[in-house]
A and B are shown apart, each in its own frame.
Chain A
């Protein structure tokens, strides 16, 4: 057994023997500064970790402390009233929470299908010479800065939505109240589309990695029993990775919830709750982006920071859930 392990280890690291020898020999050569560094090094790594933890704790504390004036003033009604009036200093976040959650959920509903199936192609069906470059292109999609998505969304996607897609949706599905109303171009559905494009690479990249951790014995057993590759994927591989893929989707949802710049540019920035998906809306992050530098009074500023706190807490919740779900699958194979 040990021998087998050693062999696979060597296959995994072809240069292992010589490399270990060389590195070990280099490290073993005594140097003057070593005894000093050996004493300080554990302290340095601990100190850095301490700073890191302080920063994360500080992030939460600062948001909380600076929200206090607003929390004291409005209490929990901040979360379920939708009046946002800087002149009378009445602040409620409901319209922004609605815009944030609805745009992100639509985005996820669109991105999850494309993402999971796309990942299946890359991990299961595509030959290597297609999967590698295609995977790279999709990873680049994740690297496009959000301001570029916003720019494209504003000048290319929004006009297309206004003149072609929204009228078409209205003509054929207009009996549904969500596809009714004037076509603005900028609005909830355009923001959701941009968000969907932005989170597809996240779903694909993580789902692909998850599918690749499914042991090949599982597939082989299915094929040996006479299943087609598609059936093996549908009945065994996908269920095996299901929990983790669900986690990947939740993680992508978290990205969408927090996205600021691209949504700000295409969502229309009007704090109203409307049945129509064509109508302009507003998100938590967009209102912070638009109004923060104009906030003149202490309460106004505090209310905006409380929006940030709400966003922070939603993200913590969503991301914790995503990590737990993903760990359930990756856990056995190693952290990811």
Chain B
């Protein structure tokens, strides 16, 4: 008899409402497909071997690619990750272990707020602490900005991953005679590892597409640069510069770069989620 008492109008209104919510969710998903489709259509024809293996040619010389930008992205994000991962994971462990007092509460709040600070402000920070003292733009200053951006994501992911491990794991280990340190590192941490790895990958994905702080840190370059203390090319920065240039051939390269960037970022997101899903399914 459920629903038998509904008036016709009430049932109709319910259906319209639910249809409206479906429409909204559908709109959001459709937007993604539209943007993806457009980028794929414009970019797919431009991605080829020279695009992936050559450095940019001067304006007017056909061909050329973004190989230096791809390598630059790897170097800049790599250095950022090397510093951000230990600091972030250890801070997350601290919050999970000693998280009840006033100070951890403040740290947590600062971390939450930091995750909402615009990347361009963090770029300015990197400029004042690394570019100004060194006297020139450099890849490491970009890595520094990326590190600051990654930290709150990693801290949060680590803390909530550790929190989600049942307390009995820790307690049993200690009851069997392990030290608190061993209980955390060898019992709790491995149990939380998939969720932490997901957080790390999401943090990396987050900065991989980031452009704003690079404008005055990595600065960009037309050449092969492997020295992290020199200005360096970066893929998303190249897309930005090419898109705003007046040359049609550079616009085409921007589309190809955008497609490449989207594929990389989506793959990172996909792997991150699979790491977690496999765990949940086991």
Chain B: interface secondary structure?
A: helix
Known: A34-B181, A147-B209, A147-B240. A316 touches B87 (CB 8 A): no
Q: Contacts of A31 on B, CB cut-off 8 Å?
A: 182
Q: Shortest beta-carbon distance, B259 to chain A, in Å?
A: 9
Chain A: interface secondary structure?
A: helix
Q: Shortest beta-carbon distance, A133 to chain B, in Å?
A: 9
Q: Is the CB of A137 closer than 8 A to any CB of chain B?
A: yes
CA distance A292 to B217 in the complex (A): 11
Contact B110–A292 (Cβ < 8 Å): no
Contact A38–B118 (Cβ < 8 Å): no
Contact A20–B94 (Cβ < 8 Å): no
Known: A45-B97, A117-B24, A145-B261. A62 touches B129 (CB 8 A): yes
Q: Shortest beta-carbon distance, B70 to chain A, in Å?
A: 14
Contact B243–A265 (Cβ < 8 Å): yes
Instruction: Name the contact of B118 in the complex, choosing from A149, A154, A311 (C-beta under 8 A).
Output: A311
Instruction: Name the contact of B215 in the complex, choosing from A118, A265, A293 (C-beta under 8 A).
Output: A293
CA distance A148 to B261 in the complex (A): 8
Total chain A interface residues with beta-carbon distance under 8 A: 110
Instruction: Name the contact of B28 in the complex, choosing from A38, A204, A265 (C-beta under 8 A).
Output: A204
Task: Give the segment of A69-77, A91-99, A119-127, A273-281 that binds chain B.
Answer: A119-127
Known: A16-B166, A148-B209, A152-B38. A318 touches B91 (CB 8 A): no
9 nearest interchain CB pairs? A145-B209, A258-B118, A48-B90, A230-B14, A24-B172, A121-B21, A319-B116, A28-B176, A27-B173
Interface residues of A (CB under 8 A from B): 9, 13, 15-16, 19-21, 23-31, 34-35, 37-38, 41, 44-49, 51-53, 55-56, 58-59, 62-63, 65-66, 113-115, 117-122, 124-126, 134, 136-141, 143-152, 154-156, 197, 200-201, 204, 223, 226, 228-231, 233-234, 251, 254-255, 257-261, 265, 285, 288-289, 292-293, 305, 308-309, 311-312, 315-316, 318-320, 322-323, 334-335
